[in-house]
Structure 1
Amino acid sequence: MHTMWKGTISFGLVNIPVKMHAATENKDVKLRQLHKECQSPVKYEKMCPVCDREIKNEEIVKAYEYAKNKFVVLDEDDLKALQKEQEDKAVEIVDFVKLEEIDPIYFERSYFLSPNEGGSKAYGLLRSALEDTGKIGIAKMIIRSKEQLAVIRVYQNTLVVETIHYPDEVRSVQDVPNVPEKVETVKKELDTAKMLIDQLTTEFDPEKYKDEYRTALLELIEEKKNQDQTTTAKDKPAPDAATNLMDALQASLDRAKKEKPKPKQPAKRKTKTTTAKKKKTAT
């Protein structure tokens, strides 16, 4: 299992060197987008709308948009220094609470923790203490350059980190439209609904639930593949030297036309006829 983070978790004077591993994986079937005409994968380029050209990663800087089209540019060295400062701190458990006190809306992602070298004894100590007290730890840690609020708990004899949202990341239910304050219900209908819930109540068995859409999609893909209903993307034709030269010449010509200053118009010479007309008009 791939190690995605190494660090130290501490509570009180106990320090536990640990490794962190992703506990879940996305099983979604990823579909590519092809150009219908030639069946080639569609490219997404990073374009600058002002310079009207594709830009490379080294030409990109990070910035915060504090108002419409107004930015504070953040230097990469400053960001790295800030990140290093936070990563060097040990992950400290600051509180212990009961799991049922946290609403599931706060939970985000799960990670397994395993002891690093010399950490088995302290790892076992924390695991036993959490199991015996029925508590979970609340901690702060840096994951992928972001400070995360997290809980540390026991799952099937393994310590697990569950990242959770900060309170200001959970939207207010007051903003949800059209939620009725109170609805009068008929007692008979309510009793029937409760009876239906009782009949469908069972113990939670995660193996019981399957992603039927994903299964059907994979079966469809396999069926089409077996029936040779496949396609191969065409290679991009390489322009020959003559084409490259012609393109370069044309581009140079276009640029020269844009950059060439317009010739000044010569001043009109005054003729005897024009002078005579002006004198006649004046009189």
Structure 2
Amino acid sequence: MHTMWKGTISFGLVNIPVKMHAATENKDVKLRQLHKECKSPIKYEKTCPVCESEVKNEDIVKAYEYAKNKFVILDEEDLEALRKEQEDKAVEIIDFVKLEDIDPIYFEKGYYLSPNDGGSKAYSLLRSALEETGKIGVAKMMIRSKEQLAVIRVYENALVVETIHFPDEVRDVKEVPNIPEKTELSQNELKTAKMLIDQLTTEFDPNKYQDEYRTALLDLIEQKKNEEGQTATAKEKQMPDNVTNLMDALQASLERAKKDKPKPKQPKRKTKSTAAKKRATS
């Protein structure tokens, strides 16, 4: 499993060298966009609307727009120094709380933690302590140039880091439109709804739930792949042929040379001298 990050988790005076690995993966079926006419993949280029030209990565700088069309330019060196300063810090568990105290709306993405060299005993110590107390640790850490609030908990036999949103990243529910206030419900309606919930209540088994759309889409792709006229091969962009270009260039050079070459001077015809002319007429 690919290691995304290496660092140290600490609680109190205990330091645990760990490696972090992505716990989930996106299995969405990615569809490409093709040009309808020639079935070639569409290319997206970075362009400058003012210069009307393509911009290379080395010609791009980062900036913060503090007002309309007004920017503070941020040097990559300054950003890198700031990231390095934060990444070098150990990930310290600030608090221990109960998992049920955190609403699921805060949770973002999960990562597995494995012990790095010499960290197995401390890793096991934290895992056992969390299991026996029923608590999870709250910590801050840097992941991919972003400071994250996170919780550290036990999942099966592993420690897991779950990144969670900061409070100001969760929008105020009061901003959601058209939420009804408490509505008068009949006891019969409420009783029926509760009976339905009881009928559908079961133990959570994640293997029971499948992405039916993704499965149907993959089946459709496989079916069309085997049907005549349902597949396309992108046309290769014709690259200039150096040999042909060389011959064309030589031929053009030859033609130009012929045109530019000065015409050879015609030899002057010898004419009879004036004296000879006089003798001939006398």
> For this structure pair, what is the TM-score category when the shorter chain's length is used for normalisation?
0.7 to 0.9
Match of residue 230 from structure 1: 231
1:92-241 alignment runs, 5 A limit: 92-228=92-228, 229-238=230-239, 241=245
Shift of 1:227: 2.1
Distance in 2 (CA, whole Å) between partners of 1:130 and 1:89 is 23
Letter in 1 for 2:130: L
Letter in 2 for 1:158: A
Distance in 1 (CA, whole Å) between partners of 2:193 and 2:47 is 56
- For residues 78-116 of structure 1, the C-alpha deviation after alignment (integer angstroms, 9 at most, x for no partner) is 000000000000000010000000000000000000000
Distance in 2 (CA, whole Å) between partners of 1:81 and 1:186 is 63
Q: Secondary structure at the match of 1:222?
A: helix
Q: Secondary structure at the match of 2:148?
A: strand
- For residues 144-193 of structure 1, the C-alpha deviation after alignment (integer angstroms, 9 at most, x for no partner) is 00000000000001000000000000000010001111111121111111
- For residues 60-79 of structure 1, the C-alpha deviation after alignment (integer angstroms, 9 at most, x for no partner) is 00000011111001000000
Q: CA RMSD in A?
A: 1.4
Distance in 1 (CA, whole Å) between partners of 2:193 and 2:12 is 50
Distance in 2 (CA, whole Å) between partners of 1:36 and 1:121 is 59
Shift of 1:212: 0.3
TM-score normalised per structure 1: 0.84
Distance in 2 (CA, whole Å) between partners of 1:55 and 1:237 is 24
Distance in 2 (CA, whole Å) between partners of 1:239 and 1:185 is 76
Where structure 1 has 5 or more consecutive residues not aligned to the other structure, the ranges are 246-283
Letter in 2 for 1:197: I
Letter in 2 for 1:202: T
Match of residue 40 from structure 1: 40
Distance in 1 (CA, whole Å) between partners of 2:227 and 2:51 is 48
Letter in 1 for 2:198: D
Distance in 2 (CA, whole Å) between partners of 1:74 and 1:84 is 16
Distance in 2 (CA, whole Å) between partners of 1:169 and 1:217 is 34
Distance in 2 (CA, whole Å) between partners of 1:78 and 1:128 is 41
Distance in 2 (CA, whole Å) between partners of 1:206 and 1:109 is 17
Shift of 1:237: 2.3
Asked if 1:10 is matched to 2:10, the reply is yes
The alignment covers a number of residue pairs equal to 244
Distance in 1 (CA, whole Å) between partners of 2:144 and 2:222 is 36
Shift of 1:6: 0.3
Letter in 2 for 1:134: G
Match of residue 88 from structure 1: 88
Distance in 2 (CA, whole Å) between partners of 1:225 and 1:49 is 40
Match of residue 252 from structure 2: none
Distance in 2 (CA, whole Å) between partners of 1:62 and 1:12 is 38
Distance in 1 (CA, whole Å) between partners of 2:57 and 2:3 is 27
Letter in 2 for 1:233: A
Distance in 1 (CA, whole Å) between partners of 2:193 and 2:88 is 54
Distance in 1 (CA, whole Å) between partners of 2:174 and 2:136 is 30
Distance in 2 (CA, whole Å) between partners of 1:153 and 1:89 is 21
Task: Compare CA radii of gyration and give the structure with the larger one.
Answer: 2
Shift of 1:239: 5.1
Match of residue 50 from structure 2: 50
Question: Between the two proteins, what is the percent identity of the paired residues?
Answer: 80
Letter in 2 for 1:109: K
Q: Secondary structure at the match of 1:20?
A: strand
Letter in 2 for 1:122: A
- For residues 209-266 of structure 1, the C-alpha deviation after alignment (integer angstroms, 9 at most, x for no partner) is 0000000000010111122421110011235759x99xxxxxxxxxxxxxxxxxxxxx
Distance in 1 (CA, whole Å) between partners of 2:50 and 2:129 is 60
